[in-house]
């Protein structure tokens, strides 16, 4: 049995010995060329001319390509509005204008500096509030409305009204955007991309080059990280390489360095959320109104879906009897913001968690008590979009975090520490997550898989999932090895390719293992059915006419009693067994198929976007995190002293990989709310565009005492082998660091702390001065 066991990541040996192949590790071919992007040097304006004469005179430069070289220059995941290369209106700094194609990277980069671009600059908009005032809207969501929140607010004993801002975040994947395009026979193009969405990459390349889909194949072996940044924005990068490959009939490579990747690509969406909340003396929330605004940047990209997921998660882990939620996407002149781990969920959840800290400050109560009063109880309470919260583990998780961390003792110790006033102040907070698992666009909740069982008892598996370090291939290998009763090392998950798995959904929304794992299991079960029928007839000593009986749709009595385990196929009723390899050989000799394809779709989803009601998610992943921090009152320096996490992941497929995901997600989430700040020049150029100017968490930012626990939950039945998704939910728990910082500030405050996110050392120091004033 491999399900529920700690099996090594399938790429861990080659990661350690340096033999893992990423896109830019592929050997350079003798006739390979390189393409370099030239970006706009203003945030808004009219493109008037491109002078490439000096670049074209450079030895080794093959050509300069512009928007006119594409058969179709417009793309967009939801709205077809974004140019691959700007031909008229420039809408953000470093927006791609043209491509320099040269014999190698060095020549291409040097020649790109010789391109002269004439632009008539216009007044840009960078501030989200200014964009709201200008009504520069590109999408307005259908509101959620339950009960009568206005009435509750009007008669409530206590109300809070205000706004909450949380900033963007750079994906900072280790492998920057990269692609190699190979021209093939009959006008075909094969692209090897660092992409979370091979099918979108395939489709955009075909559209841009004037090809049919069957003429383009996209292959993804692995990525060096993605976090959502390669869901949509890897596709135009592939189109640049493919265009040059098509034009010059030679393989073409593109591989951005970290600086240009950060400057060109979109980030997590900044949000400005307005709220009004009513509550009683106990801190019980009676009603609330939320109005969310997402800064989409220059183009729509995936923003409507990201906004809606923020709306889906504005309730956090807490029940609202009366609530209204509105949402709007606004455009500014920055790079097009895009998918990022959590996909809008963090921006929603962080708002309500901050409000709960404010409620606690107002009532002079512990915020943990406010949270316990408001969490979802049982399975009958419904979300603001009227979905039942089934398999609700939140009360159990809150009890565990309170008892196992000795919460009250910790709070008392902090009270005593802060009373000393020794130049440091500590804070403590618990935040929670109730993260919905499924694509909110219903049609994306599907996947397919191909399983080939070979004569030596080994298997190759192909799915639409893409491996970006999260371990999806390892989990799929475990599912297949468990289903077929073979060793984990006897299963290899092949590179994702659109020629084997068509119309794939992106590996996103934490659904990679769910959808593709279920499809792989279904394919295994088809093979097992044929082998089980064959085994049953063999054990009974019956003769059979290969294909006619073994592949029949009709049921054969008793075949479900056949068990596949440890390379043995056995019949528990007849007490007979045969080696799997022997049975496979028998199947082959009798012309019984040993491979199969299966399609899976998530059943039961039924959210109606027109009414804003229905079942949006297959299930919820729950978790809680306790964090204690210490702030230096003279410098604003923040240290994480303790973080204790309890997660409900159902029956984990691989506890070790899942714990790694929880750990990494928490730290990434903590970085978003503390150290990771995006700085722009007054002209709109990203200044924090490198590892030296953008501060992701380091070892010094880790909790000194860090613990991750997975609780037992055997009641979930709607997902493959009872598992729950882990990719995005624990990211939201990193918010507990920010909440603990806000709690620490409250100890020194003469007025309610109002820090924004990220709470950098500078923000904390200035807030200390404000609240003391």
**Cα distance between the two ends of the chain:** 63
Which residues have CB under 8 Å from 309's CB, separation 6+? 343, 344, 345, 348, 436, 440
Contact 755, 741 (CB under 8 A): yes
d(CA 654, CA 94): 42
Q: 132 burial class (0-12, 13-18, 19+ CB within 10 angstroms)?
A: middle
Tokens of 343: 């996909």
Tokens of 720: 């493959």
d(CA 283, CA 534): 65
Q: With residue 99 as reference, give the H or E element that holds it.
A: strand 96-102
The sign of the torsion formed by the CA atoms of 197, 494, 649, 357 equals negative
Question: For residues 504-518, b (16+ Cβ closer than 10 Å) or e, as one string?
Answer: bbbbbbbbbbbbbbb
The sign of the torsion formed by the CA atoms of 15, 21, 22, 24 equals positive
Place of tokens 């009227």: 386
Instruction: Select from 762, 745, 694 the least CA-distant residue to 267.
Output: 694
Instruction: Select from 368, 386, 378 the least CA-distant residue to 428.
Output: 368
Contact 137, 125 (CB under 8 A): no
Which residues have CB under 8 Å from 411's CB, separation 6+? 366, 368, 428
Tell me the helices (H) and strands (E) count for the chain, helix number first. 20, 30
Distance of CA 709 to the CA centre of its chain: 22
Instruction: Select from 334, 260, 314, 283 the least CA-distant residue to 143.
Output: 314
d(CA 636, CA 672): 17
Tokens of 480: 């297949």
Q: How many CB atoms lie within 10 A of CB 321?
A: 16
d(CA 534, CA 538): 6
In a 13 Å sphere around the CA of 500, the CA atoms on its Cβ side amount to: 20
- CA-to-CA separations, 88 to 73, 84, 749, in angstroms, rounded: 12, 12, 52
d(CA 269, CA 261): 17
The DSSP call for residue 730 is G
Alpha-carbon torsion angle 579, 580, 585, 588, nearest 10: 150
Question: What is the CA angle 617-603-232, rounded to 5?
Answer: 60
Angle between helices 735-747 and 761-772 (to 10 degrees): 30
Q: Is 577 a catalytic residue?
A: no
Instruction: Select from 55, 12, 42 the least CA-distant residue to 685.
Output: 42
Instruction: Select from 92, 83, 84 the least CA-distant residue to 45.
Output: 92
Distance of CA 538 to the CA centre of its chain: 48
Contact 680, 92 (CB under 8 A): no
Among 260, 353, 728, 767, the one annotated catalytic? 728
The phi and psi torsions of 338 (rounded to 5 degrees) equal -145, -170
Alpha-carbon torsion angle 277, 279, 283, 285, nearest 10: -70
The sign of the torsion formed by the CA atoms of 260, 262, 263, 267 equals positive
- Strands (E) located in 417-567: 424-437, 446-453, 459-463, 491-493, 496-497, 562-565
**Active-site amino acid positions:** 728
């Amino acid at each position: 049995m491999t399900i529920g066991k700690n099996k090594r990541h399938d790429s861990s040996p080659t990661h350690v010995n340096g033999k893992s192949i990423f896109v830019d590790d592929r050997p350079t071919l003798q006739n390979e060329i390189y393409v370099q992007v030239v970006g706009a040097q203003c945030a808004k304006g009219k493109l008037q001319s491109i002078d490439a004469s000096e670049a074209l005179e450079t030895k080794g430069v093959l050509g300069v390509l512009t928007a006119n070289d594409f058969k179709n220059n417009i793309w967009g995941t939801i709205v077809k509005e974004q140019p691959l290369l700007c031909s008229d209106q420039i809408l953000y700094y470093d927006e791609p204008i043209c491509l320099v194609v040269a014999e190698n990277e060095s020549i291409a980069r040097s020649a790109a500096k010789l391109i002269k671009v004439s632009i008539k600059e216009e007044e840009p908009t960078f501030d989200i509030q200014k964009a709201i005032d200008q009504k520069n809207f590109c999408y307005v969501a259908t509101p959620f409305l339950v009960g009568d929140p206005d009435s509750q607010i009007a008669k409530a004993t206590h109300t809070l009204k205000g706004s909450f801002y949380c900033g963007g975040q750079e994906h900072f994947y280790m492998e920057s955007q990269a692609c190699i395009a190979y021209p093939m026979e009959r006008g075909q193009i094969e692209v090897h991309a660092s992409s979370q969405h091979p099918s979108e990459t395939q489709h955009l390349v075909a559209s841009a080059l004037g090809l049919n889909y069957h003429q383009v194949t996209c292959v993804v072996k692995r990525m060096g990280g993605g976090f959502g940044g390669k869901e949509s924005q890897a596709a135009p990068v592939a189109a640049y390489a493919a265009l040059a490959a098509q034009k010059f009939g030679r393989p073409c490579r593109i591989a951005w360095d970290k600086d240009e990747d950060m400057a060109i690509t979109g980030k997590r969406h900044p949000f400005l959320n307005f709220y009004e909340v009513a509550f009683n003396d106990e801190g019980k929330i009676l009603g609330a109104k939320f109005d969310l605004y997402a800064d989409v940047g220059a183009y729509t990209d995936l923003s409507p879906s990201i906004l809606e997921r923020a709306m889906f998660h504005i309730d956090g882990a807490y029940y609202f009897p009366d609530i209204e939620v509105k949402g709007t996407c606004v455009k500014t002149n920055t790079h097009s913001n895009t998918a990022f781990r959590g996909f809008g969920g963090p921006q929603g959840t962080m708002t309500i968690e901050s409000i709960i800290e404010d409620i606690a400050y107002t009532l002079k109560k512990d915020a943990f008590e406010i949270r316990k009063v408001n969490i979802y109880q049982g399975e009958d309470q419904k979300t603001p979009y009227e979905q039942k919260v089934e398999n609700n583990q939140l009360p159990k998780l809150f009890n565990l975090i309170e008892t196992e961390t000795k919460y009250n003792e910790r709070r008392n110790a902090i009270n005593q520490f802060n009373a000393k006033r020794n130049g440091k102040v500590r804070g403590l907070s618990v935040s929670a997550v109730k993260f919905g698992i499924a694509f909110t666009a219903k049609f994306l909740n599907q996947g397919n898989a191909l399983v080939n069982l070979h004569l030596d008892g080994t298997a190759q598996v192909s799915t639409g999932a893409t491996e970006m370090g999260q371990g999806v291939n390892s989990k799929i290998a475990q599912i297949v090895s468990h289903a077929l009763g073979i060793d984990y090392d006897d299963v290899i998950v092949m590179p994702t390719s659109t020629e084997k798995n068509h119309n794939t959904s992106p590996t996103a929304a934490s659904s990679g293992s769910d959808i593709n794992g279920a499809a792989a299991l279904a394919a295994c079960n088809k093979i097992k059915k044929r082998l089980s029928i064959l085994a049953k007839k063999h054990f009974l000593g019956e003769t059979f006419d290969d294909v006619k009986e073994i592949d029949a749709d009709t049921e054969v009595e008793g075949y479900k009693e056949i068990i596949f385990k440890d390379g043995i196929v056995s019949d528990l009723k007849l007490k007979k067994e045969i080696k799997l390899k022997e049975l496979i050989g028998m199947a082959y000799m009798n012309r019984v198929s040993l491979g199969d394809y299966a399609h899976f779709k998530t059943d039961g989803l039924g959210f109606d976007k027109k009414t804003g009601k229905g079942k949006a998610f297959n299930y919820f992943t729950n978790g809680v995190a306790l964090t204690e921090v210490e702030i230096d009152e003279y410098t604003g320096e923040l240290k994480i002293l303790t973080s204790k996490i309890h997660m409900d992941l159902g029956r984990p497929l691989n506890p070790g990989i899942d714990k790694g995901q929880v750990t990494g997600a928490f730290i990434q989430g903590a970085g978003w709310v503390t150290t990771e700040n995006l700085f722009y020049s007054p002209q709109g150029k990203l200044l924090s565009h490198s590892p030296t100017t953008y501060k992701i968490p380091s070892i010094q930012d880790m909790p000194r005492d860090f613990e991750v626990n997975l609780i037992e939950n055997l009641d979930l039945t709607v997902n493959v082998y009872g598992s729950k998704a882990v990719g995005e939910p624990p990211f939201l728990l990193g918010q507990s660091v920010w909440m603990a910082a806000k709690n620490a500030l409250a100890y020194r405050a003469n007025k309610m702390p109002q820090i924004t996110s990220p709470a950098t050392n500078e923000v904390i120091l200035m807030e200390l001065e404000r609240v003391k004033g």
